[in-house]
Structure 1
Amino acid sequence: MFFKNLIVYTMQDNSSIKNINDDLLQKIAFVPCGPTDFSKMGFVSPVDNYALMLTLGEHSLLKVRTESRILPSSVVNKKLAEKVKRQEELLQRNLKKSEKLLLKDELMIDLLPQAFTKDQYTNIWINHRDNFIAVSSSSFKQAENILALLRKELGTLAVTPLSSDQPAERMFTEWLREDKAAENFIIHNDALLVDPLDTGKIKLTKEDLTTDAVKNYLDAGRTVESISLVYKAQTTFTINTSFILSKIGYSSEMLDKNDDFNVDEKECRIEADFLLVAEELSSLIKDLMPNFKTE
């Protein structure tokens, strides 16, 4: 199922998004790594056909493939040490730092074509109705790299990550203290508590968060850095103070809705699953966002 993690960006102006189409995505379609490339990123079909964009109603789905070469630092360091030693023996002196860096660059050029590659796939969801774009990642760096890929072709892409008018840790802490989250949400069983005065963290996993022990942590000054919630009894997720949604899970009742598709209907199943999840998460985000803003 789609979107185990999600970083949501609101759009101040959706005119740029309207310019995203298959022709534009073809210009930034995926191309495999060349002999000297560390990594390559580009768009591929989200449903394994020729189209690079799937649009169903008010929702569009894009998919990015990132291919990266694997060069373990231990291998590089070992071969570099051997190369430096040979060169120092040849010159009868110690190499300067700049000379070692040059040797490393030469070594990387030699090693890259031999390196294995790994692939990572990331989905991008555009909600045209509610004006937001979401990246299925828990890393802002990865999400920003993908948006930069789009922005390069679009020229501009004015988006803002979710934020709050009040400190998120204060809001989450109050929810946990009162055992009452936002409307349509209930507190689940995971939380990460931090002490603002030191680096110590307490990770609570699959625990009853209503106990006196948890309340004592809060009374002692710890705040909530992340907390898991249940939305309308069918979707669970964790949200942290950066407003990244992670560990998104769906109820069996929801997952069973598309089980009538057979194995030969892969494309139809992908489309149905995407639309099902997009509508569910749209509702979740729409109910969640007002809690981040003060009157």
Structure 2
Amino acid sequence: MWFKNLCLYQFESAFPLDAESLADKLAAFAFRPCGKLDLESAGWASPLGDAYEPLVHAANGYFMICLKEESKLLPASVIKDVLDERVGELQDKEARKVRKREKDRLKDEIVIDLLPRAFSRSRRTYAYIDTHEGWLVVDAGTWNRAEELTERLRDALGSLPITPPQFDAAPQAVMTRWLASGQMPSDFSLGEECVLVDPELEGGEVRCKRQDLSANEIRNHISAGKRVGRLALNWQDRMSFLLDADSSIKRLRFNDVIAEDSGDLEAESELERFDSDFSVMTLELARLIPRLVEVMKE
């Protein structure tokens, strides 16, 4: 189970629970499918999949958890079509205009009628707790998505004293300096993608893909006042990703050397393969994350 995006949080103190105690806390908020009249439902599910029961997968002091959400697909256009039909029938039958309050009541009735027949959509958000270094790592493409998980986790635990990582310098300033100077930390190298934003013009940006980011063209944009909003990086030829100005990581890719390390671990079952992948992934990220924090201080 390889994460593709990272939103990072730091615990303000050591995480106080072991895996069993954490699972007990989550069990009180376990996922239950939508009832006939529910528009949505959310709760904790096994990160191993629906065929498994444990709500926490633990390996080497890392605890993986999974928030499962289900929502009913009830398009507004469908509700509107049915509402228009019923309003028309009522107006023809009673020869009068249907007012807004009555329309609202009819709309509520239509939603209740349609919900049992609506299709359901589910999604899962994964995260893990690093009990060694005090990180909560969420596989989410946006901070809003990550906050959905942290709010649910806070409800389950009673409190969740976490904060996004605090850097000495803003990621945008550091990434802009890297491109402007051409000087990178020795273990990082540039990819071929970036987003340059104009701080003076809302929405003004230049997107570069498959470009040599060390070219004069890129530096000219920075000289003209643009700043780096997103930058493609490689780390030690082991991982590649986009570092965002909001400190999130997107499109994380573990390179072949890591996949080979995971493949070298013999797995006799799907569960063992999951466990070996999780162990390799967390150990690699345990090296990358503090290094990212460190280079934001340089």
Fold-level match, TM-score > 0.5?
A: yes
Percent identical among aligned pairs is 28
Match of 1:30, SS state, is coil
Match of 2:273, SS state, is helix
Residue of structure 2 in register with 1:107 after alignment: 110
Match of 2:286 among 269, 282, 289: 282
Deviations, residues 186-243 of structure 1 (Å, cap 9, x unaligned): 2211111111222222211222111121112112211111111111111001111111
State the TM-score, normalized to the length of structure 2: 0.90
Change (3 A) 1:180 1:74: farther
Structure 2 residue 44 is matched with structure 1 residue 43: yes
Structure 2 residue 169 is matched with structure 1 residue 178: no
Q: CA deviation at 1:293?
A: 4.7
Residue of structure 2 in register with 1:190 after alignment: 193
CA contact (8 A) 1:163 1:242 kept: no
Q: CA deviation at 1:263?
A: 7.5
Structure 2 residue 152 is matched with structure 1 residue 149: yes
Distance in 1, matches of 2:285 and 2:208, equals 25
Deviations, residues 134-182 of structure 1 (Å, cap 9, x unaligned): 1111122222121121211211101112343434322221112123334
Match of 1:75 among 78, 81, 88: 78
Deviations, residues 27-68 of structure 1 (Å, cap 9, x unaligned): 111111111112211222222422111111121111222112
Structure 2 residue 167 is matched with structure 1 residue 161: no
Q: Which segment is superposed worse, 34-43 or 122-131? A: 34-43
Structure 2 residue 255 is matched with structure 1 residue 251: yes
Residue of structure 2 in register with 1:137 after alignment: 140
Q: CA deviation at 1:8?
A: 0.7
Match of 2:189, SS state, is strand
Q: CA deviation at 1:5?
A: 0.7
Residue of structure 2 in register with 1:270 after alignment: 274
Match of 1:21, SS state, is helix
CA contact (8 A) 1:16 1:154 kept: no
Deviations, residues 101-128 of structure 1 (Å, cap 9, x unaligned): 3332222111111111122122111000
Deviations, residues 85-106 of structure 1 (Å, cap 9, x unaligned): 3344455444444433333222
Distance in 2, matches of 1:200 and 1:154, equals 42
Distance in 1, matches of 2:179 and 2:63, equals 35
Structure 2 unaligned regions, length at least 5: none
Change (3 A) 1:257 1:165: closer
Distance in 1, matches of 2:86 and 2:278, equals 52
- The one-letter code matched in structure 1 to 2:27 is Q
Distance in 2, matches of 1:103 and 1:164, equals 53
Residue of structure 1 in register with 2:26 after alignment: 25
CA contact (8 A) 1:179 1:187 kept: no
CA contact (8 A) 1:41 1:67 kept: yes
Match of 2:87, SS state, is helix
CA RMSD for the aligned pairs?
A: 2.2
Residue of structure 2 in register with 1:14 after alignment: 14
Change (3 A) 1:232 1:34: same
- The one-letter code matched in structure 1 to 2:217 is A
Distance in 2, matches of 1:74 and 1:95, equals 20
Structure 1 unaligned regions, length at least 5: none
How many residues in Structure 1 have an aligned counterpart in Structure 2?
294
Change (3 A) 1:254 1:167: closer
* Runs ≥4 residues deviating over 6 A: none
Q: Which segment is superposed worse, 250-259 or 42-51? A: 42-51
CA contact (8 A) 2:15 2:134 kept: no
- The one-letter code matched in structure 1 to 2:46 is S
Q: CA deviation at 1:264?
A: 4.7
Q: Which segment is superposed worse, 262-271 or 37-46? A: 262-271
State the TM-score, normalized to the length of structure 1: 0.91
Distance in 1, matches of 2:183 and 2:118, equals 52
Match of 1:79, SS state, is helix
CA contact (8 A) 2:193 2:211 kept: yes
